[in-house]
């Protein structure tokens, strides 16, 4: 087929010489690279230094003990020192609770870990300075992790707890060393021999840390990251789905050409108001979200085999989350036009992922990202999926807030799209082509 001659021709070299081709592309791509690098790397630059009020449970089960005719309660002393530490004052929010409450907090994702002082802590320390034992029992403290609340946050909590155990061990070791010195002096004076139990241990470091998983996860949970990636699928499904639906509706109306490889199809342009266009796209988005959520779950659970329960709830929440993301993207497309996809990418991905608390906990993010987390949609979706996958779909484990914020986001975006498209129509700012496209064979 000969090339069309009705249109003015332009050479590739001539087009590349035009400033209108280079300048907008350079500005948009350059700003995107700058903004995204600042957003993503700014959130993860110094999580330890940014940590503030990281929630960790502190359980003191120590019953105390009698030593040399005196009552000692090391557990209470250590708990007071831990919560009053100036070094940890701003970084950690200690929750002094009993073991049952700590287990409940772990099971609802309210704390990233727990430090447990056992019932026999004082007794085991006192025994080191007592008569010799054939099998000395070193004092221990249990560090409970919670990867379901976030593997990075759980790791931070475990590291903090292990530092606390090391500090406690040094303090206890110093006291035991002094006690051993007094026994040695007594032995030289004709008193009883120094106890051998303490000598059987490394006195400088007597307290040992036992690390356990406080809220166990299945082996196919991605170490607590499967919720993040599943939520990412839902968010991308909504954002990309909105762009696909918007393009397909424009193609059906003849506003855009339909290119399939080397073949180009253009339908005669048909007029539709902006309001009706947004309504049609929104209906398609809501209905198709049910399909995409089902297929996402089928791929993740049925094919890949991630650990998941409450499948019906996972499907309906996924459909609602995808629809909310899609309506938000469609509203931005309707309001901003061609820049809409870039704006939706910044709102739903660029600003949302660093402030989601999915990889880095919110307590380890700078204040700007904590502010974004209050309303950015990605955080709400992650919390909902995490509650369904890891915490038995408990409402107070994040699912209740996720439902509320998803509904608010859906309704707000729908109202924004309907209001502004109606305003554009009333002012005569229609999307109809100025020159009807001519069908091509």
Instruction: Output 189 or 392, whichever has higher pLDDT.
Output: 392
* 3-class DSSP assignment, residue 415: helix
Helix residue ranges, H only, 273-355: 274-297, 311-336, 340-345
Do you know the residue count of the chain? 441
- In the chain, what is the straight-line distance between the N-terminal and C-terminal CA atoms, in Å? 10
What is the Cα–Cα distance from 173 to 187, expressed in whole angstroms? Answer: 21
Neighbour count for residue 189 (Cβ, 10 Å): 7
Tens-digit pLDDT profile for residues 34-44: 999 998 888 88
Rounded mean pLDDT of 183-193?
51
Rounded mean pLDDT of 9-13?
87
For residue 155, give Cα distances in angstroms to 48, 83, 294. Answer: 11, 20, 33
Tens-digit pLDDT profile for residues 240-252: 999 999 999 999 8
Tens-digit pLDDT profile for residues 417-437: 999 999 999 998 887 645 444
Q: What pLDDT is stored for residue 127 in this prediction?
A: 78
Rounded mean pLDDT of 225-246?
95
What is the Cα–Cα distance from 186 to 375, expressed in whole angstroms? Answer: 68
Instruction: Output 256 or 310, whichever has higher pLDDT.
Output: 310
Instruction: Output 138 or 229, whichever has higher pLDDT.
Output: 229
Neighbour count for residue 240 (Cβ, 10 Å): 17
Helix residue ranges, H only, 189-273: 196-199, 226-252
Which pTM does this prediction carry? 0.87
Contacts of 135 (CB under 8 A, 6+ apart): none
Q: What pLDDT is stored for residue 4 in this prediction?
A: 55
Give percent above pLDDT 70 in the chain. Answer: 88
Q: Which two three-digit tokens encode residue 218? A: 């299945």
Q: What pLDDT is stored for residue 269 in this prediction?
A: 82
Sign of CA dihedral 23, 29, 35, 37: negative
Residue 284 has pLDDT above 50, yes or no: yes
Instruction: Output 193 or 250, whichever has higher pLDDT.
Output: 250
Residue 116 has pLDDT above 60, yes or no: yes
**Nearest alpha carbon to residue 94 among 103, 77, 108, 81:** 81
Q: What pLDDT is stored for residue 264 in this prediction?
A: 82
DSSP 436: P
β-pairing, 208-213 vs 140-145, is: parallel
For residue 228, give Cα distances in angstroms to 96, 378, 381. Answer: 30, 9, 9
Tens-digit pLDDT profile for residues 43-69: 888 888 889 999 999 999 999 887 767
Q: What pLDDT is stored for residue 156 in this prediction?
A: 93
Rounded mean pLDDT of 176-188?
60
Tens-digit pLDDT profile for residues 154-176: 999 999 999 999 988 888 877 77
What is the Cα–Cα distance from 373 to 366, expressed in whole angstroms? Answer: 11
Q: What pLDDT is stored for residue 435 in this prediction?
A: 44
Residue 183 has pLDDT above 60, yes or no: no
What is the Cα–Cα distance from 296 to 316, expressed in whole angstroms? Answer: 12
pLDDT band at 232 (very low <50, low <70, confident <90, very high): very high
Q: What pLDDT is stored for residue 322 in this prediction?
A: 97
Tens-digit pLDDT profile for residues 330-384: 999 999 998 999 999 999 999 999 999 888 899 999 999 999 999 899 999 999 9
Buried b (16+ CB within 10 A) or exposed e, 349-380: bbbbbbbbbbbbbbbbbbeebbebbeebbbbb
Q: Which two three-digit tokens encode residue 234? A: 């839902």
**Nearest alpha carbon to residue 146 among 383, 373, 354, 391:** 391
Strands (E), 148-273: 208-213, 258-260, 263-265
Q: What pLDDT is stored for residue 198 in this prediction?
A: 44
Q: What pLDDT is stored for residue 205 in this prediction?
A: 75
Neighbour count for residue 170 (Cβ, 10 Å): 14
Instruction: Output 296 or 207, whichever has higher pLDDT.
Output: 296
**Nearest alpha carbon to residue 143 among 166, 123, 114:** 114
Instruction: Output 358 or 142, whichever has higher pLDDT.
Output: 142
Among 73-82, 101-110, 201-210, name the one with the lowest average pLDDT: 201-210
What is the Cα–Cα distance from 26 to 33, expressed in whole angstroms? Answer: 11
Phi and psi (nearest 5°) for 143?
-105, 115
Phi and psi (nearest 5°) for 381?
-70, -40
β-pairing, 113-117 vs 54-60, is: parallel
Q: What pLDDT is stored for residue 436 in this prediction?
A: 47
């Amino acid at each position: 087929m000969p090339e069309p001659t009705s249109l003015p021709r332009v050479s590739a070299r001539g087009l590349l010489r035009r400033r209108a081709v280079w300048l907008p592309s350079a500005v948009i791509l350059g700003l995107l690279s700058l903004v995204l690098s600042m957003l993503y790397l700014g959130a993860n630059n110094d999580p330890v230094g940014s940590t503030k009020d990281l929630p960790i449970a502190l359980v003191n089960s120590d019953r105390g003990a009698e030593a040399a005719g005196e009552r000692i309660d090391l557990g209470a002393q250590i708990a007071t020192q831990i919560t009053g530490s100036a070094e940890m004052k701003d970084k950690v929010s200690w929750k002094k609770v009993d073991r049952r409450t700590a287990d409940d907090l772990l099971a609802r994702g309210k704390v990233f870990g727990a430090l447990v002082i056992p019932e026999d802590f004082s007794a085991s320390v006192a025994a080191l300075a007592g008569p010799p034992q054939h099998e000395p029992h070193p004092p221990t403290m249990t560090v409970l992790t919670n990867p379901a609340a976030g593997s990075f946050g759980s790791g931070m909590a475990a590291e903090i707890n292990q530092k606390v155990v090391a500090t406690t061990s040094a303090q206890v070791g110093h006291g035991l060393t002094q006690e051993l010195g007094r026994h040695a002096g007594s032995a030289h004076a004709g008193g009883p021999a120094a106890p051998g139990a303490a000598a059987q241990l490394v006195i400088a470091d007597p307290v040992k840390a036992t690390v356990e998983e406080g809220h166990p996860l299945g082996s196919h949970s991605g170490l607590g990251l499967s919720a993040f990636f599943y939520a990412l699928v839902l968010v991308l499904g909504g954002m990309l789905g909105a762009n696909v639906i918007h393009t397909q509706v424009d193609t059906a109306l003849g506003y855009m050409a339909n290119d399939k490889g080397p073949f180009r199809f253009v339908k005669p342009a048909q007029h539709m108001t902006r309001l009706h266009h947004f309504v049609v796209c929104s209906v398609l988005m809501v209905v198709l979200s049910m399909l995409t959520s089902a297929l996402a779950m089928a791929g993740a659970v049925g094919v890949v085999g991630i650990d998941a329960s409450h499948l019906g709830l996972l499907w309906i929440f996924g459909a609602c989350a995808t629809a909310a993301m899609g309506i938000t993207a469609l509203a931005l497309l309707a309001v901003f036009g061609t820049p809409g996809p870039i704006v939706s990418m910044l709102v739903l991905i660029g600003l949302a992922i660093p402030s989601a608390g999915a990889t880095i906990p919110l307590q380890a993010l700078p204040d700007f990202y904590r502010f974004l987390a209050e309303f950015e949609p990605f955080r709400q979706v992650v919390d909902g999926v995490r509650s369904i996958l890891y915490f038995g779909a408990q409402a107070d484990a994040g699912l209740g807030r996720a439902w509320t914020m998803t509904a608010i986001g859906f309704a707000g975006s729908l109202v924004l799209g309907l209001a502004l498209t109606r305003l554009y129509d009333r002012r005569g700012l229609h999307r109809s082509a100025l020159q009807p496209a001519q069908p091509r064979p």
